[in-house]
Amino acid sequence: MLRWLRPRTLLVAGLAAACLLGGYILGLRDAAGTGQLRPPAPAELSAADQRAFGVVWETLTELERDYYRRDQLNPDQLAAAAARGMVAAVGDPYTTLSSPQQSELTTAQLRGSFEGVGLELDRGTGQLRVVAALADSPAEKAGVRSGDAIVSVDGLDITALSLDEVASQIRGPRGTSVTLGLLRDGTTPLEVALVRETIKVESVRSRLLPGAVPIAYVRIAVFSEPASQQLREQLGQLLAQGSKAVVLDLRGNPGGYLTSAVDVTSDFVKDGVVLYQDRGGPQSARQPYRTTGNPQAGDLPIAVLVDRGSASAAEIVAAALRDNQRAVLVGEKTFGKGTVQEIHKLSDDSQLHVTVAQWLTPTGHAVQGEGLLPDVEAPAVEGRDAALDAAVQYLLHGPANG
């Protein structure tokens, strides 16, 4: 995304059908009553699945036998199309199959750099929209906003394309240009011309806010691999300068790794639950993820800045700090990404993201489709950072009503 919660799991071949389509000649047998040979369904599948997927093998056999341009049949393309169709039929917007190229881009983003325009995208509601524009990216500099819908790329209507296909058109080598057709607030059409750059993702940026009372300001742009270590280093420096409170800015943060979210929360909460993972069983089976101990700022007051671009791992941290009575949320309602995906690397280097659970806040609330409401509302205001101002005032003086 990034724009999704990604626990770091073992990478295993998770789609036997896709892996075996290209190797169908290993076990031919007579197809039902036709006298033609067809490959068997993989033995790992249940008997019911083997019967159901017989049509896949039969279709492949008939194409290989009868299609008039058999020399143009590409086993890799046929296998990929079959796999994409299966994933689409699941009907879950976050269970997805990404190409090797898109998988490489996602991995690069979470490791620190990539070439493109710096957009996090989502198609959870059917319409392709912007979750966030990364800080200092071409997209942010051009004014692309969270919530903007993308309707065209270089004049091509992309409404019928997959998220992966659109991302492939938007990214590209640095120095090249791309024009995005946007729809803002559902009604206003815009065209934005962008020049691709090398996007270096600085996961954490921080500074000491000016004022009589020293307050640490820490912005986490994405929960990447190095985010928690960067936080510890920078937060330690600010605490050494006498910080009396912390503003944690998670606006426009589309998420990242679960482990990073747990580690970041652990810098502010000594002993508490970060989230519960619910795989659909009884409530007693919910898996708690707890803080790891040894917080740097376990007692300082915290205000967390959130907006509609705060999603997934960002929502986990925000909810965990509030539910553990360590912070107030300031800003706007968050995105509402409350499911967990595990990543399976397939034999062709594509990645299968499978929704395996939903996550719940420490107090047991589901976030999927709902988001988090701020304790202090501070909508965006042209010309000033209203949310930051409100957070500082809260930390210095408490609630506005006294």
Cα separation, 59 vs 31, in Å, equals: 11
Cα separation, 2 vs 119, in Å, equals: 9
Catalytic residue among 98, 152, 337, 350: 337
Cα separation, 339 vs 320, in Å, equals: 16
Is 122 one of the catalytic residues? no
In this structure, are residues 58 and 31 in contact, taking their beta carbons and an 8 Å threshold? yes
In this structure, are residues 189 and 182 in contact, taking their beta carbons and an 8 Å threshold? yes
Catalytic residue among 103, 323, 347, 389: 323
Cα separation, 90 vs 99, in Å, equals: 18
Q: How many CA atoms lie within 13 A of 220 on its CB side?
A: 37
Place of tokens 């912390």: 246
In this structure, are residues 105 and 118 in contact, taking their beta carbons and an 8 Å threshold? no
Around Cβ 10, how many Cβ atoms within 10 Å? 8
| Long-range pairs of 49-55 with CB within 8 A, sequence gap ≥ 24 | 53/17
Catalytic residue among 49, 312, 345, 375: 312
Q: In 240-319, where do the E strands start and end?
A: 245-249, 273-278, 287-290, 302-306
Q: Buried (b) or exposed (e) across 122-134, using 16+ Cβ within 10 A? A: bbbeeebbbbbbb
Looking at residue 2, the DSSP 8-state letter turns out to be: -
In this structure, are residues 104 and 171 in contact, taking their beta carbons and an 8 Å threshold? no
Cα separation, 321 vs 312, in Å, equals: 14
Q: Is 55 helix (H, G, I), strand (E, B) or coil?
A: helix
Place of tokens 């000594």: 270
Backbone angles phi, psi at 243, to 5 degrees: -60, 135
Cα separation, 313 vs 271, in Å, equals: 19
Is 323 one of the catalytic residues? yes
Place of tokens 């940026």: 205
Angle, vertex CA 154, rays to CA 149 and CA 156, nearest 5: 75
Is 99 one of the catalytic residues? no
Catalytic positions, written as ranges = 312, 323, 337
